[in-house]
Structure 1
């Protein structure tokens, strides 16, 4: 597929400079950027879908247990004695 874009002079200059730095043509560099962006978006979408599927499982008890375990693990595995999730702030800040 051939795609024709009208770029601002600033964008064109940016792409040309970055392409030269990497030893690529402007077209090859622009295509590389587009591919990287698409792959990143695909990964983000997969992650969001996975998280949403976990939330949709509707096992509230298991989610509570997992949440409590994560909070405990994060608080225990610290170089500092200060807790990330102090019990007195439960329901206030977390």
Structure 2
């Protein structure tokens, strides 16, 4: 596909500079930048879908178990005897 673009002088200068630095044509640099941008967008979309699938996971029991495990692991791994999540403050501060 052939595409004709009207570029600002700044963008044109940038493309020419990049092409010169890499020994490529302006068209090759523009195509490379466009391709990289599309690939990045596709990767981001995939990551967002994966994160959303984790959010949508409705296994509340597993989430509760994971939360309890994290609370105990954080309390057990402290150098201090003071707990981060004391049971007497459950529902008040955490």
Normalising to structure 2: TM-score of the pair? Answer: 0.69
Q: Which is higher, the Rg of structure 1 or of structure 2?
A: 2
Long gaps (5+) in structure 2: 87-94
Q: Which residue of 2 aligns with 1:20?
A: 20
CA drift of 1:57 comes to 1.5
Kindly tell me the number of residue pairs found equivalent between the two proteins. Answer: 81
Inter-CA distance 69–19: structure 2 relative to 1 (3 Å threshold): farther
Aligned CA RMSD, in angstroms, stands at 2.8
Q: In terms of mean alpha carbon deviation, does 50-59 or 37-46 score higher?
A: 50-59
Q: Which residue of 1 aligns with 2:92?
A: none
Long gaps (5+) in structure 1: 89-94
Normalising to structure 1: TM-score of the pair? Answer: 0.69
CA drift of 1:70 comes to 6.4
Q: Which residue of 2 aligns with 1:91?
A: none
